[in-house]
Amino acid sequence: MSKKIFIVSPVSLRKVNGQLGLDEQTCEKLVRWTESFEQVVFACTVLPQQVTPSSSETWRAIDDLPCRDRIEFVLLPYAYRIQDFIRTYRKTRQLLRAKIRESQYLCFSPCVLVGDWSGIACLEAMKLNRPYAVSTDRVEYQVIWRTLNSYPLKHRIKELLLLPLMQPYLKFLIQRSRLGLFQGQECYEVFSQFCNNAHCVYDVHTRKEDQISRDRLSNKIDQLVQGQPLKIGYVGRASEMKGGLDWIRVIYRLYEAGVKVNATWLGDGELLPQMKQLAADLGIRDCIHFEGFVGDRQKILKILRQQHLFLFCHKTPESPRCLIEALVSGCPIVGYDSSYPRGLVAAQGGGLFSPINDEVTLTRHIIQLNVDRSRLCLLVQEAARTGQRFDEETVFHHRSGLIKKHLPAKPDSVISIAPYSC
């Protein structure tokens, strides 16, 4: 029996130039999984044609993966409407049960109630008395609650009805897991209380060679010592949960305080037109370069290496990879306080935080750093040291090792059934 891992993920496949594709980051994860397991069975939904995919992601055809012959894709129904979930529930549960029986290791990512096949996979594993790992990178019910006002009315009503059930449901699934892989201190603090074997892990897609070089680091510090205008950057989706409007207002406050700023926002999203309009209304449109969506990771890292600090205004409990990419690029992370960024820099520094929604304190911190360039240079050096901890080979090896150590059970039988497989 080969060492096979069965993963059920909330991501979605979609058609890319006539071929099924996944976002680039998920593709990189799959490549890493095949370095630790002989075969990967990956189950996820297929995005219907009428659903608009995120434009802030780079899509890649799954048939182009170098390890395609070792990955089995199991296509699950896209069933986030209650009627679709009920209609497809029985057949999908049978499929999940068959794949659980075939596989030696199980890793699921439950997050919501309706349409969440990871949660159903957990229930099936319980029925079959199979140990499983849970993996999650954000506290979904808190994210939904904090962003509820941005939802359409019908969607908002649905979430208000489901939210009281979501936390106890996730608690139930996590309590019965053999292993909890919680990405970042934010998720770990919330979910580890439900799990007897919880581990704080990180989702990283940078490599050792992506870390800022000594020469580039010295050049950045020289720029600060010479008093060049402060370069402030951000990479991510322009959305309410990312605090895009707060970000614009902080740049304006810096401008009003006489700080010479060159700011760059990489990424698009539904809030981008409002952000641009606000920047124009405040008279700082010339201070901010809106790069738009950038799919080339090397270009993103190149731009980040040029920034003197990474300003973020995140409002929800999640584990954004952009903060790690900033640290890898020798870019101090300065923004709203929460357990996740604090945990990233706890050991070697490289960050400065203010209370969430407190634009005044956040602005004051940056003004102080601009005045005290020696302190900012120290933060840059600390960020670069902290960034050396994060490369995808190391973190995935650690994660795979935890799964192999704590999920030793072997499947009872091998069943060949794949009604939704490709």
Domains and CATH numbers, the chain: 4-204+392-406 (3.40.50.2000), 209-387 (3.40.50.2000)
Contact 391, 207 (CB under 8 A): yes
The phi, psi pair for 22, rounded to 5°, reads -125, 165
Question: Residues 121, 100: contact at Cβ < 8 Å?
Answer: yes
Say what the pLDDT of residue 421 is: 37
Both tokens of 108, joined, read: 């699921």
Show Cβ contacts of residue 27 under 8 Å, excluding neighbours closer than 6 positions.
60, 62, 65
**Where are the strands (E) in 220-295, listed by range?**
230-235, 261-266, 288-292
pLDDT for residue 146: 81
Tokens 């700011």 locate to: 263
At 142 the pLDDT is: 85
Structural contact between residues 11 and 39, judged by C-beta atoms closer than 8 angstroms: no
pLDDT at 139: 87
**What pLDDT shows up at residue 1?**
34
pLDDT at 417: 31
Helix axes 272-281, 244-256, angle to 10 degrees: 20
Q: What is the pLDDT of residue 154?
A: 83
pLDDT at 412: 44
pTM: 0.80
Three-state secondary-structure class, residue 310: strand
pLDDT attached to residue 409: 52
Neighbouring residues of 298: CB distance < 8 A, sequence distance ≥ 6: none
Residue-level pLDDT, tens digit, the chain, 422 residues: 358 999 999 999 998 778 899 988 899 899 999 999 999 999 999 998 777 666 556 788 999 999 999 999 999 999 999 999 999 999 999 999 999 999 999 999 999 999 999 999 999 999 999 999 999 988 888 888 888 887 888 888 888 888 999 999 999 999 999 999 999 888 999 999 999 999 999 888 888 899 999 999 999 999 999 999 999 999 999 998 899 999 999 999 999 999 999 999 999 999 999 999 999 999 999 999 999 988 888 999 999 999 999 999 999 877 888 999 999 999 999 999 999 999 999 999 999 999 999 999 999 999 999 999 999 999 999 999 999 988 888 888 899 999 999 997 554 444 333 333 33
pLDDT score, position 88: 97
In this structure, what token pair is assigned to residue 82?
């209650």
Tokens 């044609």 correspond to what residue? 49
- Backbone φ and ψ for 40, nearest 5 degrees, come out as -120, 125
What is the pLDDT at residue 53? Answer: 62
pLDDT for res 56: 59
Vertex 26, ends 12 and 41: CA angle to 5°?
Answer: 75
Q: Other C-beta atoms within 10 Å of 355: how many?
A: 11
Contacts of 336 (CB under 8 A, 6+ apart): 243, 312, 313, 314, 315, 353, 354, 355, 356, 357, 358, 362
Tokens representing 66? 């170098």
Give the number of other CB atoms < 10 A from CB of residue 222: 11
> What was the pLDDT predicted at 394?
86
